[in-house]
Structure 1
Amino acid sequence: MRRRSFICAGIGAMAAVATIAARSGMRRHSGAALAFGTTIGITLMHDDARQAQLAIEDALSAAQSVDRLMSIYNRASQVYQLNRDGVLARPHPHLLAVLAQARELSRLSDGAFDITVQPLWQTFSAAAQQSALPSDQQRRRAHGLVDWRQLDFDSRQARLRGAGMAITLNGLAQGYAADLALAAVQARGVRHALIDAGEFVARGRRRGADPWTLGVRDPREADALAATLYIDGCGVATSGDYEAAFTPDFAHHHIFDPALGDSPTELASVTVLAPNGMLADGLSTAFMVMGRDRARAMAAQLPGVDLMTIDKQGGVWRSATFPPTA
């Protein structure tokens, strides 16, 4: 799954938290677990320690369940089985929800978002193990297997029409996991929470009147920030060419343009704010493929969506209502 694109700015000094706790009864609670090949984390403010702990356990369990269903590596996952067999009986409702979002994003983006790009990832990854790029013939063969319209699904089965086709939900699953985790903490009565499943969702405040804070990393300097965001009531996701690059110049990386059969050439990173984590996750991938101008036009038509793009020359563009940066 996707590697970290954000740096959490954290809750603040413990002395400050203690002061708030004494005034309001709110205390900071946190927990973490392994999923998506990384560590996922839950941070919340709540006045009942027992309920807070139960909320964290429920949230982590919900996120891990998405990983178990949608991993492309776990032989027991439904996505692995679909890729292996070309057909899957009785898809889980969570998988159906993510597949439906994928289809809608493919339609809205005119195919720029496409979960059937997995053969391209496999082909480039195999070549990278030999410190090479795929041959033109290898790339054309993989490219010929990419077409989101060749995936059929309903509650009875999911089916890939073409032999050798495969899907990846890496552009949606972590955002969906964050959404489920947030729903789990809210079901326990928690109103102030930050969910980090590789993509982020946040509700309420981190302490007092202070909003949750995220730092967006610079696409070319791993220890530098391109922006610091104050967020509440939204999902946040970043896609970048640096996350899994096949070449040192970042020209070839883990995001693929389905029209090219290779990586998009304009942008180094895209950060998206959206009403939920899954939509932010998917749009960040779609917008990387579409480039700034097409992404800007599409975002303007979607309620509650804002974006920041950074091109390969370092040029930054933000939509008009993108949150002010600290």
Structure 2
Amino acid sequence: MQRRTFMSAAIGSVAGMAGLCLPGSMARGTASASGVRLYRGAALAFGTTIAVTVLHHEQHQAELAIEDALHAARNIDRLMSIYSPASQVFQLNRDGRLSRPDPHLLAVLAQAQALSQWSDGAFDVTVQPLWQLFWAAAGAASLPLDAQRRAAQARVGWRQLAWHRREVRFLQPGMALTLNGLAQGYAADMALAAVRARGVRHALLDTGEFIARGQRAVRQPWILGIQDPRDSEILAATLKVEGRSVATSGDYECTFTPDFAHHHIFDPSSGDSPLELASVTVVAPTGLLADGLSTTFMVTGAARAHAMTAQMDGVDLMTIDKQGRRKMSPGFPRLL
């Protein structure tokens, strides 16, 4: 899965830790006056490095929480990878049907269906045939022919995905599924649940999408930086994250053409990438919702995205278009 490019400006949040925390390792910071420390662990999942940072007074409990959280996130990757033959999504794409779907997969499919209905199909997890087509063409330094694009588009349609607790199946041949717009956010939710189960109240979870709970120090919130969509060395904004999840989607994450006109996000109605926005950042109550909304709003465009956000409780939004113009929901500036 392609990691969403979302920079943590909170490198300062793990400042003072000994050495670099590599996948499979643990690091701890210096103790504060109250005896609490920052602890951090990392692992490989979703084709990148995921990380869990916690603030706690007891080392063993903190390390157990980190191990549990990393395990929970990696379990979601194993279930929902489009590349691993052992994953249920891979098996569904290969066979057109899947028996005994995992409850985690069903939970994500339920959110996908709700987003598709709510957005009138702007969000659609069955766009994978379009991604496969454009990826193959990009390998030959070209774009698909219109006839090829229309043929792939005909195999896209969220209503053609049927599922219940005993089976998931496609209703027409040649369909394929991708959960790249949901799985990392859901993994962050599961990692948070694992941390909480160990009694840890202060944590920053990074699966490519972010969840923060509590604080990184006394009266100091967790801080995240949003990458500028046209310059990876510049932050478009820096956010205080207090008790919510943050996700970003951008046209720069996986591009098929240098002008960013064709990329990994697809509008099912056109069979190609949406043309207006360069990036979308969503702050929402859960990682699953933030992840799904950031993809949805890339497709809907800014005006509709902000109108939809205004109808939702606990959701804030910043859009940046391809000309660099920014628009924020009323609550977003309070996070800066």
Category of TM-score, reference length = shorter chain: over 0.9
Structure 2 match to 1:98: 108
- Indicate if the aligned counterparts of 2:14 and 2:38 stay in contact, CA closer than 8 A: no
Question: Following TM superposition, by how much is the alpha carbon of 1:84 offset from its aligned partner in structure 2, in angstroms?
Answer: 0.7
Identity, in percent, stands at 65
Structure 2 match to 1:84: 94
Question: Following TM superposition, by how much is the alpha carbon of 1:7 offset from its aligned partner in structure 2, in angstroms?
Answer: 1.4
User: Would you say 1:158 and 2:168 are equivalent positions?
Assistant: yes
Structure 2 match to 1:141: 151
Structure 2 match to 1:2: 2
Q: How does 1:1-326 map to 2 (within 5 A)?
A: 1-9=1-9, 10=11, 11=13, 13-14=15-16, 21-324=31-334, 326=336
Distance 2:187 2:325 in 1: 32
Deviations 1:281-326 (A, max 9, x none): 0000000000011101111111111100000000000000014365
- Indicate if the aligned counterparts of 2:241 and 2:335 stay in contact, CA closer than 8 A: no
- Indicate if the aligned counterparts of 1:52 and 1:190 stay in contact, CA closer than 8 A: yes
**Counterpart secondary structure, 1:51:** helix
**Counterpart secondary structure, 2:122:** coil
Distance 1:25 1:187 in 2: 21
Distance 2:87 2:335 in 1: 39
Question: Which 5+ residue runs of structure 2 have no aligned equivalent?
Answer: 18-27
Question: Following TM superposition, by how much is the alpha carbon of 1:14 offset from its aligned partner in structure 2, in angstroms?
Answer: 2.3
- Indicate if the aligned counterparts of 2:246 and 2:281 stay in contact, CA closer than 8 A: yes
Distance 2:152 2:196 in 1: 43
**Counterpart secondary structure, 1:185:** helix
- Indicate if the aligned counterparts of 2:215 and 2:221 stay in contact, CA closer than 8 A: yes
- Indicate if the aligned counterparts of 1:63 and 1:178 stay in contact, CA closer than 8 A: yes
**Counterpart secondary structure, 2:126:** helix
Name the TM-score, length of structure 2 as normaliser: 0.94
- Indicate if the aligned counterparts of 1:227 and 1:325 stay in contact, CA closer than 8 A: no
- Indicate if the aligned counterparts of 1:82 and 1:158 stay in contact, CA closer than 8 A: yes
**Counterpart secondary structure, 1:14:** coil
How many residues are matched?
324
Distance 1:115 1:296 in 2: 22
Amino acid at match of 1:182: L
CA pair 228-186 structure 1, distance change in 2 beyond 3 A: same
Distance 1:222 1:232 in 2: 25
- Indicate if the aligned counterparts of 1:230 and 1:323 stay in contact, CA closer than 8 A: no
Amino acid at match of 1:178: A
Distance 2:29 2:262 in 1: 48
- Indicate if the aligned counterparts of 1:106 and 1:112 stay in contact, CA closer than 8 A: yes
CA RMSD of aligned residues (A): 1.3
Name the TM-score, length of structure 1 as normaliser: 0.97
Amino acid at match of 1:316: R
Deviations 1:269-288 (A, max 9, x none): 00000000010000000000
Q: Structure 1 runs of 4+ off > 6 angstroms?
A: none
Question: Which 5+ residue runs of structure 1 have no aligned equivalent?
Answer: none
